[in-house]
Each structure stands twice: as structure tokens, then as C-alpha cells.
Structure 1
Amino acid sequence: MVLPAALALSGCVATPQPGITDSSTPSQVTSAQVPTTSAPLETTQASNKAPVYWIGRSNESTFLYREFREVPEQDNPVTRALRVMMSQKPLDPDFFTPWQNPKKLASSISGKNVITVDLSADAFNSNVDPAMAERAVQQLVYTATAAAASAGLIDAGQQIQVVVLVDGHTDFVAFNHVRLGSPTARGVGMVAPVWIIDPQEGTSIADGAVKISGRSTAPGGRLRWEILRIDGNVKTAYLNGTMTASAEAGQSGAFSLLVNLGPGNYEVRVSQLEDGNPAEDLNVDTRGFTVK
């Protein structure tokens, strides 16, 4: 659906409320343990799966994590991905979303790499605090830009911004905390410091060499990994080691390892290692999977 340009310029007057932030200037995660970076924009892919971001907790902070999900064929790629984000549950039980499935949802892309999303107000029927409201808006921004980039609909060499309209109007205050309508880019410090990309939660893999890959926000940083074998409710340490995230251009922060695993249920854990504090696992991410 192509939204008329006039909609992006129309607005309704919002009642001033204390503590409201603007979507274009979200607060940054300032912990010394969390580098203030954003995730690289997704690249074009042939897969029919859509990149969808969810919210998850790591240590004492909350971040965005991505899954690739099956999507219906109707609607454009951005609308499809956002519909999954607002109407379905993440595969990983550690993730969640405060969004509700809206009655109306549409999106369009201008020639200036601006994605416009128009949705109904019922998408915001959740009671969240200001910090979670900012992360929810960024969850939408990350998902919309990821879906557009993955489908090859935008120029990944330029900054991508998202304008969110509610029932065709600007100035809506999302979750009673974040004013929408301004062009909004991916916020720094929002994406998870450690993020396992493959395998996804619940994946079944053939036995033998299993590849585990992901990304860290600390290029060249050391990581600890561990494989746990799961038998019922019991988890037993199986394999472990350390590795270094890539510092190369184009692969910044990427990591991968190959492990030989026989049939069974497993959990992989990856965490950052801090100089001078090797005993503590920082920013842990986990994935459960099955080897057939």
C-alpha cells in the first residue's frame, strides 16, 4: 500500500505529558560493558524468511535480538515482518514483544530511503515503562529496516529512517512515553552485545559437524562458548572454549565455530570476556537446538 504524501505531513495535537521522549532521539545504553553501536544493516537474501527483532534481557540490561521467521505471501516485505513482530511470539522463550496485533498496518518506501509505517492505535495496548517503550519503538525501526534491506528494496549504502504514523497522523505518543512522527534511524546501544544467529531456537540439525555463528558488538573481543547437553530437565556441560570476534571490515564482530555433536538435545551459550575479570560471563546469549 502506498501512503499519500499528505499523510506524512498531517498531524494531531498531542496533550503535553512529562517525561516524553522523541522517537528520533532514544536514550543510549551507557553501561561501560556495552559498546554503543547498532547492528549492521541486513544484506539482500533470496530466502522467503523475514528478519524480525524481539526484545530480550541480558545481565541487567535489555536489548534487541533477531530471528528469521516464515511469513505469509500477502503484503509487502516490511508489512509482513512487522505483522509477525506484532502478532506472533518469538521462537526463543527468552525474548518477548510488547506490541499488540493492530487492525490496520501498512508501509511504503520513498526514494529517499525513508520507510513510512502507518498502523492503528490498538498496537500500543501494553503498559510499559519509558525505557521499554523506547526499545519497542526501536524494535519496529530495526525490523522495518531489516525487512526492506533483506528484500533489496532500499539502498543499504545510505542511512535508512522510519516514520511511524498512527491512523495517518504524526505526534502520537507510543505507550504514553515516546512521541512518533519524526524520521527515526536505528538507535545505538539497542542491539544485543552478543547474539547467536545460527542455530535458531528449536532448530533440528543433522549429526556431525554443527556450525554455530553469531555477532558481538566488540570486534576483536574475546568470547567464551559452552555446549550443554540436555537430558530432560538436566543440563550437563559437554564442550567449551574461547574464540575471538572478527575485527575485519565487513565481518566486524562476527564469530563462528564448528563442533562435532551426536544425536541429542543441546544448548549453546556465548558470552563476552572482560579483561581482568575472566570468571564472569558478560552479556550471555543462549540457543536450544536438537541434533538428529
Structure 2
Amino acid sequence: MLAALLLTGCIANGGGSAAGVTSPPVTIADAPASHAPLETTQASTKIPVYWIGRSKEEVYLYREFRDISSDGNPVTTALKIMMSEKPLDHDFFTPWQAPENLATSISGKNVITVDISRDAFNSNLDAGMAQRAVQQLVYTATAAASSSGLINSGQQIQVVILVDGHTDYMAFGQVKLGQPMERNASLVAPLWIIDPQEETTLPTGVVKFNGRSTDSSKPVSWQILQENNKGEKTSLFTGQTQATGDPGQYGVFNFSAQLKAGKYELRVSQVDEAGATIETSTDTRIFNVG
């Protein structure tokens, strides 16, 4: 048998470019900041960075952790990665361009100020995508500040975006900047995989999977597929697990499987009250074992 499932709270059944991407509009009513919790402080050489990705007809923000050195301002570093590098996951993208100038600072009132040059906005975006791009910056700046301990994650945090030192710039010709902004909870993906990250190679044996869901009351369905040398994928296992946390709130989920050497894909989705997979909540991850 190629893989043996290790049951850890699961029900098992054996078995980026932004070009051409449009997005739904965003309204202020969609944005309860209290429902978009910050990352917790962690002693690590990795930093959280947010990207944009599509799940069926929806377009959401997704998070990856990137390796960094211990030197430098973590907020500036995270934003440089967001604007200048490609996501690890090929399903994600960034509409930002590498800026000539980028500086950040944090006030004693938990306000992050980001000052960037206008060349960062050299992309043609519709209104919905422009709003997501601005929120991508807000999420990345606040995540980097919170995870590195520069701010108190238990307090409200805001981001002010300046362009060449000035307020009132229209980001991508669509979003007016210069006023304090908070995380818009409606734009973050309902669910995503944390580990393994895209194209990671793991040792044979027990492989641990974990992720996070915006709603712990919804079960998480998962599927592990193996890819052969022709690129064909075969489903090995499917199952369900439950995210920890209070119903309706953010939570984390995890499960494990014992895998032999090979190339695999993990697919996860939230499940609705009728037991059906919510396709717009699906996240996938390609990884290797061996």
C-alpha cells in the first residue's frame, strides 16, 4: 500500500500574473476589522507575505511565509518581497511592481506608515483588483509587524500609505490613499494551507499537514493525490477534519499521512451545512516526498 493514513481527528475514506484577472467589487460593509485577526508573535527567520489568488470565481488574499535574515526592518522586508518577488505557489500573483523607493515606520499608536514611489503602481487594474492590491499591502505590513513583535497584536492597527511623501494619491487610478486603513476581513481567503509550502521536499514517512480556516464551524475536506511521471494524478485518500476554535471564528486544522517517495498534491476545502464542498474555498499545494 503506497500510503497509510494516520487518523488525527479526521474521517478518512481510502481511495502568477494579474493580467486578465477581474474581481468582484468591494464595499465598506464587507470589512469588519475585528474578524481579521493579526498574526501572533513568533521567533523565526520566516516572515508572512500576502498574495492574491483565485478560487473559482472569487479572488482572495493568501499568505505564505518567506525566509529572511534577522537584519533589517521586517515590515520593509516583507513589502519588498511582496512587490519584487514571485509567490512560491504558482496559483498566486502580485500586481505590484518593484518600487525605486520604499520606507516604513510605526508610531506609538500602532499606525504603520508606508511611503512608496509611484512606480510601484505601474499595473492596469480594475476597481476590485486595485482594492485587493491595496489590502494585500495592508495585510502584509500588519502581519510582518505583528509576527515580529513590533506591535501589540491585541490592539487595533492601521496603515497609512503615502506615495512619494504625499497623501491623496489614487492607487492604480482606483483607490484613494493617505487615510488610515484597516484589514478588510471579506478579502482574505476562507481557507488556506500553511504546511507544506509549494514545491517543498519532505522526508518519507509521516507527513504533517496544517492550515487555517476563517470559520471553525465548517468542516474541512481534504484530498491527497499522487502524480506519476506522465503528469497524471491519482487520488489516494480523502477525508474530513475540524478546525480548532470557536464556531464562526478563525481556527487551525491539521492531519497526517504516511507517504512514500513521490510527487503529491494536497487539496482542501470548507464544507457547507449540507455536506457539500464549497468550491470557492479550495486551496491546493504541490509537494514532494523523498
- Normalising by the residue count of structure 1, what TM-score does the alignment of the two structures yield? 0.85
Is residue 2:53 matched to residue 1:56? Answer: yes
| Residues 184/169 of structure 1: CA separation in 2 closer, same or farther (3 Å cut) | same
Is residue 2:160 matched to residue 1:163? Answer: yes
**How far is the alpha carbon of 1:219 from its aligned partner?**
1.3
Is residue 2:24 matched to residue 1:27? Answer: no
CA–CA separation in structure 1 for the residues paired with 2:257 and 2:36: 26
CA–CA separation in structure 1 for the residues paired with 2:245 and 2:150: 28
Aligned counterpart, 1:42:
39
Aligned with 1:288 (options 270, 281, 286): 286
Aligned counterpart, 1:264:
262
Assess if the C-alpha contact under 8 Å between 1:91 and 1:201 holds in 2. yes
SS, match of residue 278 in structure 1:
coil
Aligned counterpart, 1:237:
235
1:184-199 matches, within 5 Å, as 184-199=181-196
RMSD: 2.0
What is the number of equivalent residue pairs in this alignment?
262
How big is each residue's C-alpha offset from its partner over 1:89-120, in whole Å with a ceiling of 9 and x where there is no partner?
00000000000000000000000000000000
Assess if the C-alpha contact under 8 Å between 1:37 and 1:191 holds in 2. no
Question: Which structure 2 residue ranges, 5 or more long, are not aligned?
Answer: 1-25
Aligned counterpart, 2:129:
132
**How far is the alpha carbon of 1:72 from its aligned partner?**
5.2
Question: Which structure 1 residue ranges, 5 or more long, are not aligned?
Answer: 1-25
| Residues 134/269 of structure 1: CA separation in 2 closer, same or farther (3 Å cut) | same
CA–CA separation in structure 2 for the residues paired with 1:252 and 1:155: 19
1:1-292 matches, within 5 Å, as 27=27, 38-71=35-68, 75-232=72-229, 233-248=231-246, 252-276=250-274, 278=276, 281-292=279-290
CA–CA separation in structure 2 for the residues paired with 1:261 and 1:86: 36
**How far is the alpha carbon of 1:59 from its aligned partner?**
1.8
| Residues 234/146 of structure 1: CA separation in 2 closer, same or farther (3 Å cut) | same
CA–CA separation in structure 1 for the residues paired with 2:33 and 2:91: 23
Identity of aligned residues (%): 57
* More displaced stretch, 105-114 vs 198-207: 198-207
- Normalising by the residue count of structure 2, what TM-score does the alignment of the two structures yield? 0.85
